[in-house]
């Protein structure tokens, strides 16, 4: 394995996994404060299993999907890198939005 492969594929993969963890923790805190989720699939999981287990299920499913994207790294490297960058951008935005909701709640 070469150094460019580590930097171009492994780093975005690990970044996305860490963003899933951060998003899960922030989402748990926000949902525990009473904010409603807008995603209907996540809403069904939360109503069936509760906030903790529902979020755990959704985040585990998201990590499995990231593993499937990572499995494409040898065949479709450019597609894998683009997919990781898009998911990192989306989850980075969602994490920042969750953090801003928490900050607004504590300051206001």
Rounded CA Rg of the chain: 16
pLDDT in tens, the chain (108 residues): 555 666 778 888 888 899 899 888 888 988 887 888 888 888 999 999 999 999 999 999 999 999 988 888 888 888 888 888 898 898 888 888 878 877 887 776
| Burial of 80: CB neighbours in 10 Å, binned 0-12, 13-18, 19+ | buried
Q: What local confidence, expressed as pLDDT, does residue 100 receive?
A: 85
The pTM score is: 0.78
Q: How many CB atoms lie within 10 A of CB 103?
A: 10
Q: What local confidence, expressed as pLDDT, does residue 13 receive?
A: 87
Q: What local confidence, expressed as pLDDT, does residue 6 receive?
A: 63
Q: How many CB atoms lie within 10 A of CB 14?
A: 13
């Amino acid at each position: 394995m070469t150094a460019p492969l580590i930097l171009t594929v492994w780093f975005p993969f690990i970044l996305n996994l860490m963003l899933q963890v951060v998003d899960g923790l922030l989402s748990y805190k926000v949902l525990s404060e009473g904010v409603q989720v807008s995603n209907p699939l996540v809403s069904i999981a939360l109503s069936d299993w509760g906030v903790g287990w529902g979020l755990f299920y959704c985040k585990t499913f998201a990590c499995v999907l990231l593993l499937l994207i990572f499995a494409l790294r040898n065949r479709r490297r450019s597609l894998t890198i683009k997919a990781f960058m898009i998911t990192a951008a989306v989850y980075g935005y969602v994490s920042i939005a969750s953090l801003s909701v928490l900050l607004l709640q504590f300051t206001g």
